[in-house]
Structure 1
C-alpha cells in the first residue's frame, strides 16, 4: 500500500510545524552580539580583564567605563596611563573595586641611578589611593653629612652603568619621616613616588616601588547585572551604565526581561513540539495499521549500515577490507587471547591468513547506531603515516562491529609512563625514548592537521590512545571522537564537549575561551607530554603536598624560579636538555587562550630546535581542578 496516500493530507501541517519549530529554536538560540563582544579578555599574563576596564583593540569601547582603557605592553602585561605615566597592573580586585599597580619605569629595575619616576596626582576623580598609601621621597646626590643618618628604608652607594667616575648616593624617606624637612634642601634631586606601607612591615624602598600601591576606583557597581546573567557596559551616547543581556532587551538586570522572553519562547516551543509529537503519533498508528513494513523500525536498523555502504562506495578500493564475523572468530581463535579492555569494548590478539599479527577491537553495542564506528573507519581509513596506527580492516554485521589494526607489541603508552603501573621487570622508559615518543606523537598530529587531504581533529589524545610498536615508535589510535574538517577549516562546530577529563581543552567545554579547532588537540598533547615527564597523572589524588596536586602548575613554578626540576633518571646533558624542551613545549601547548598555543608544526620545531631559542611561556591561568575523594576516577569520558 502506498504510504504517500496516508501522509499527503498531513503535509501542510508537517511543513508548518517544521518552519515554526526552527524559527522559534533559532530565536531561542540567538545571543546578543553586545553580550558576546564583552566577554572577558586578557593579555598574555592571563589576568582576566572585564568591566569597568576594557583592552584596547580586543574589546569595544562600550564594554568599559570611559577612561578605563587598558593596553598590553611588549611583555604581555596590562598597563594603563595615569597622570601622564604608564602603570603596570599587577592585580585587579573587582569585588573591592581596587587594583594594585606600579610605575612601569621602575618595575624590575633599581630606582637608584636615574630618577625616572614622576610625581602622581589624582585629579580626575576616577581613582583614589588607599589608606595605606604614602609618599616616598627618593633623594639623589645628597650632602655626604646626611649619610650618617640611619634611614630605615634605604641608604647606600651605587655605581651606575656608564657613570663609573661618578658616585651616586641615594636616600629614601617617607613623607612623615621627622628628618625629612631638614634633608630635602641638602640633596640635588628629589622625586615623590606613591607606595603602600603596612604596619609592622620592614622592607626596602626598591621592594616598595616594585610592589606598587593600591588604587580604588569609582564606577557603577556591576554585581546586580552579572548576578542576573548579564555583562556590564557603558552607553557612550547617553553616557550611562548599561547591562547587556544574553538576549535583548538590555536593562539594569537581565532576569526580569529575560524571564518574560524565555517564557514566551518556552510556550511556543512547547506548543510546536506538542503538535509535532501528535502528528508523528498519528502517522505511526496509520503506518503500523495499514503498511506491511514497519518503516520506523527498519530505518533505525539500517541507517548505520547505510553509512558504512556510503563510505565503501565513496572510497572504493581505498577503503579498508571488510571481514565477516565468522572470519573474525577464526582470526582470533574464537577470541582466545585478550589484550585489553575498556569502555569501548575488548581487544583480542589475532592472525591474518598471511601470518601478520593483528589487534582486533570488538566494540560494545553502541547507543549511537554506529556513528562513532563509522567515524573511526572513515577518518583513519584516509590516513597513512608512520605515527598513525594502520587500520587493516573492519567487521560490520548487524550489531557486531569490530576494527582490525596492526599489532603493537608494546601496548599503550599509559602502561609505560605511570609509576604505579610499572613492575621490576618493566622499568620506566629512558629520557631518550620518551623524547622520541613525544616527537613522534607531534609528527602524527601535525600530519592529521596539515598532511591529509582533509584536516582531521582527533579530540581524544591521551596516553591510553598512543600505541607503541616493538621499537617504541608511537602511533596515534582510537579515532572514535575524531572530526573531519573539509577544506582545512580553522574553526569547527560541536554540539557538546568530547574527549577525556584531564585532557580536554578549555574551549571544548566552554566556548567563552575561544573557538574549537586543531588547537584543542595541541592542548591535549601538552597535557599528555607533561604526564610523560612527571610519570603520573597531572592531577594526583594521593599526594599530601597541595602544591604538587596539579603537576603543570608545580613544574611551572619550579621552572619560573629556577629551582631543580627533579628529573629522575636524566643522566647526561643531552637528556636534561631534551627533557627541558619537552617541558617548555608542553607548557606552551596548554595555554588557556587557543591563539597562544603553537600549531603542531611549530611544536615539532620546538622539540628539535635549540633550547636557547625556546622562551618560557606565560603561566596558564586556569586553576587546578577540584580535588576528588580518594578512589574516584578522574579520567572518565565527557
Structure 2
C-alpha cells in the first residue's frame, strides 16, 4: 500500500547524500590552513596589505603588494594617491571601499553622474552576470536588500520612513509640477494617495544594519554609500570562517579556500624560557601580574607587550594605564576576556554618567563591547538618559535613578538612565528621552540597574580590546595557557606555564616520584569508585549553587522542598511526564495556579535546571511561559511555572484525526497562534540582551493560555549566545526528531545557529496546517512522497491545499501563506532561511507578498 509520508527518515541517508552532492551553498573545506602554509599565506598576503586604514583580506587582495593567489580574480583592490582603497565594480565603475563586513562590503560610488542624481543612476544600473550583487538572495544576520520603486505625485504627500521617502529633488519637474518619491516595492501600493502613480522605474539597495527604508534611501542619496554582496562560493566560505571567529585564505596545496587557525604553534624551548625571563619574572604591580599583551614599561623590553598597552606602577603601588579619551585608569583586575578599570579624575567623580556619555572610543583599541565570539556573562548595556517632571518607579532590569548630578528638583527635572534596548513606551507620559546616552561594559551577570549604580558609586567598568592579539590570548586562556610573543615568528603565541628546569635531572628522584604518583592514582581511583554516585550528586549540587549565586536577585523565587510539597498537595494531581521528569498541578499561597516540574536527578548534570533559570527566569514576554520559582535542595530540583489550562498546541492540531474531538481550531486562530509563536522566537533571538536559541520548537512545547494565546515552554535544551555572532558550537545533536535542522546532524549543511530554530518553526507550521505528526504515515494514499515536497508541488501547480480539516472559502489565502512561510523556513541551507523578524513580517502581510521559495530539498522522484 502506497502512503504519503510526512518525514521519511527511512530515506534520510540517501537524501543527505543527494544534498551533499548538489547543494552549492554547502562549505567544501575539510581542513584549516595551518602550519607552514598558514605562515606563508600570512607573510605573502597580509603583512603588507593595508590601505586607507582598511585591511584588505582574502578573497580581496591589494594588487601592488601581494601575489595573485592572495585573492579571487575580479576582487583586486588598488590604493589611490589619496590613500583610499579602490575597487572597480562592473557597471558601477571605480568605488571607494568604506569597510568590509562579514556579509557585505560597503562602497562609495564615484563620479559626477552618481553625484548628480544617485537614485536615477542606480535605477539604470544592472549587475546581472556580475559577481557583485545589490540584491540579497539570503537573509543574513544584518545584511539584506530593499527593492524600491519610484512613484510620481501631483502634490506633496506625507512620508512614512518604513515604506516611502522623498521627494527626490533631482527627479521632480517644475512644469507640470511633479514630485517623485521612492517607495518600498514590497509595500502595498494601495497606501498611495490618488494623485500618485508608479513609474515602473526602480532597483535594489543592499544594506547592513541601516535602519528603516527611508534611512536607507536617504543615506544613499546623501553619502553615495551602499552595501554589496558577492555571488561567489569563496565569499560564502569566508563568511562561515568569520562566523567561527577566524579569517579565511587560500590553500595552494589543496587548491581551495580554507579557514586560518587563529594562531601558530605554541611558544616552546629556549624562546619560551627567554620570554618568561624577560617579560614575567619582574612584572607585578599592586598585587596584579601584568601579562602579555600588556607590559610593565619600567621593567620589561618592548616586545613583552603591544604598543598602547603599557602599564606603569604608581607611587601608591597601583597599576595605571592611560586610555584614549578616558585618561589614566587604575587596573582592578584582568579577566579572560576583559579588563576591569577604575577611571580617575575630578570630572569623572563629579558626574560619572555625564562624562561617560560624552566619551567616544571609536577608533581606539579599547572598546566598551566585544566584537568576537560568545563568552558567558560578558557584554555591555546601551543606556539612554530620560528626563521626568516627577519621580517614577524604577526597575533594576531596565531603568535606574534618579541621577543626582544630572537632576534638578527645583526645576522639576529628574534624570534617569534607561536600557536603550527596552521599549520606551514603558515610560510614563511625564518622561521624555534626552537623546544622550552611551554604553557600559560588564563581566559577570548583572542587571542593568545594578551595573549603572555600581559604576556611579565605584567608577569601575569593564573594557575589551579590539586587537587580534587579545583574541588569541583569550583562546590561550581557554586552553589553560598563557600567551606571549614569538620574536622568531613575529606573532602572538600560547605558552604552557610549568616549572622551569635548573641543573641536572635526578633520575632516581623521578622514578621515586613516578612510583609514589602511581600509588596515589590507584588509591584515588579506588576512592573515586566507592564514592562515585555521591560525588556526582555533590558536584551537580555545587554547580547549581554556584550558578544560582551568580544570578543574585535576578532569579525567580526560591522554594524549599517542603514548600513544593505544600504547593502540589504532596504531588496529588499529576499533569504529565517527560524525559526530564514529571509535571504536577499546584497552587501558590496567594491562590495562583501553577505547574511544577520535578526534574530527575540523573538527567543532564543539572543542565536542564540551569538552562531554564538562565533563560526564561529573567525574561518576560507574552508568548513565553513565565518561570515563577524553583527549588534546589540536595539532589532535588523543581521548576514552578505559570499554569496553562489549555495544555499544549499538540492536542489541538493533532485532534483533527479524532472526529469526536471538540478541540479543532479555525484557520484564522491557527494564523494568530503562528504569529504569537513567531513573536516569541523573535524575542528570544533579537529582544534579549543575549540571543537565546531554543533548539526544541515543537507543538508539545507550545502551551496555550485561557484565551488560546501561545507560550513557548521547555528551555531545557536552550543555549545562550551573543547577538553579534550567529554560529554556535555544539557537542551533540539537540532537539526532537522531525524538527531538527539538517546542520545539527552534519556540518556540511552549514553552521548551527539561530536559523536552526527557524527550521523547527517551519516544520511546526507544516504540522499545524496538515494536522498530523511528522512521523505519521497515514495522511493519504496518493503516492509515497515527502510531505513538504507534496505541499510545494501543490503550491507551484496552484492546486487545493486542504489536508485534514474543512476550511471556509476565505481561509484559503491563510493556508497558502502559512504553507509558503513554512517552506521558506525549512530550506536546507541555513543561509537561505529567513530570520524570525522576516518570518513575522511575512505572516503579518498578505499571501501575495510572500513568494514561493526555491525548492527546499532535493526531489526524491
Residue 640 of structure 2 is matched in structure 1 by 404
* The 10-residue stretch of structure 1 (454-463 or 281-290) with the greater mean CA deviation from structure 2: 281-290
Residue 732 of structure 2 is matched in structure 1 by 496
Change (3 A) 1:244 1:386: closer
Q: Is contact 2:685-2:692 (8 Å) kept?
A: yes
- How far 1:377 sits from its partner (Å)? 1.8
Following superposition of structure 1 onto structure 2, how do residues 19-168 of structure 1 map, counting pairs within 5 Å? Answer: 42=23
Residue 592 of structure 2 is matched in structure 1 by 356
Q: C-alpha distance in 1, partners of 2:802/2:517?
A: 65
Q: C-alpha distance in 2, partners of 1:338/1:281?
A: 52
Q: 1:333 aligns with which of 558, 564, 569?
A: 569
- How far 1:420 sits from its partner (Å)? 6.0
Residue 808 of structure 2 is matched in structure 1 by 571
2:535 is equivalent to residue 535 of structure 1: no
Change (3 A) 1:394 1:623: farther
CA RMSD of aligned residues (A): 3.8
Q: C-alpha distance in 1, partners of 2:614/2:584?
A: 22
2:424 is equivalent to residue 443 of structure 1: no
Q: 2:601 aligns with which of 334, 340, 365?
A: 365
Residue 613 of structure 1 is matched in structure 2 by 849
Q: 2:833 aligns with which of 588, 597, 601?
A: 597
Local SS of the residue matching 1:370: helix
Residue 347 of structure 1 is matched in structure 2 by 583
Local SS of the residue matching 2:543: helix
Q: Is contact 2:251-2:257 (8 Å) kept?
A: no
Q: C-alpha distance in 2, partners of 1:455/1:419?
A: 34
Q: Deviations over 1:202-236 (max 9, x none)?
A: xxxxxxxxxxxxxxxxxxxxxxxxxxxxxxxxx99
- How far 1:299 sits from its partner (Å)? 4.7
- How far 1:512 sits from its partner (Å)? 0.3
Q: C-alpha distance in 2, partners of 1:525/1:325?
A: 36
Residue 232 of structure 2 is matched in structure 1 by none
Q: Is contact 1:505-1:524 (8 Å) kept?
A: yes
Local SS of the residue matching 2:572: coil
Residue 478 of structure 2 is matched in structure 1 by none
Alignment length, in residue pairs? 373
Local SS of the residue matching 1:373: helix
Q: Deviations over 1:153-201 (max 9, x none)?
A: xxxxxxxxxxxxxxxxxxxxxxxxxxxxxxxxxxxxxxxxxxxxxxxxx
User: Unpaired runs of 5+ in structure 1?
Assistant: 1-38, 51-56, 63-85, 87-234, 246-276, 626-638
Q: 1:283 aligns with which of 520, 540, 556?
A: 520
- How far 1:569 sits from its partner (Å)? 2.9
Q: C-alpha distance in 2, partners of 1:375/1:281?
A: 39
Q: C-alpha distance in 1, partners of 2:618/2:704?
A: 21
**More strand, by proportion:** 2
Q: Is contact 2:582-2:597 (8 Å) kept?
A: yes
Change (3 A) 1:342 1:281: farther
So what's the TM-score if we normalise by structure 2? 0.40
- How far 1:333 sits from its partner (Å)? 1.0
Residue 199 of structure 1 is matched in structure 2 by none
Q: 1:521 aligns with which of 745, 757, 769?
A: 757
- How far 1:547 sits from its partner (Å)? 3.4
User: Unpaired runs of 5+ in structure 2?
Assistant: 1-19, 30-58, 60-67, 70-128, 130-249, 259-513
Local SS of the residue matching 1:547: coil
- How far 1:612 sits from its partner (Å)? 1.8
Residue 688 of structure 2 is matched in structure 1 by 452
For the pair shown, which has the larger CA radius of gyration, 1 or 2?
A: 1
Q: Is contact 1:417-1:428 (8 Å) kept?
A: yes
So what's the TM-score if we normalise by structure 1? 0.53
Q: Deviations over 1:311-370 (max 9, x none)?
A: 322221110111111211111111111111222222111000000000111122324321
Change (3 A) 1:281 1:492: farther
Q: Is contact 1:441-1:476 (8 Å) kept?
A: yes
Q: Is contact 1:539-1:550 (8 Å) kept?
A: no
Following superposition of structure 1 onto structure 2, how do residues 207-286 of structure 1 map, counting pairs within 5 Å? Answer: 282-286=519-523
Q: Is contact 2:795-2:816 (8 Å) kept?
A: no
**More helix, by proportion:** 1
Change (3 A) 1:282 1:523: farther
Q: Is contact 2:581-2:597 (8 Å) kept?
A: yes
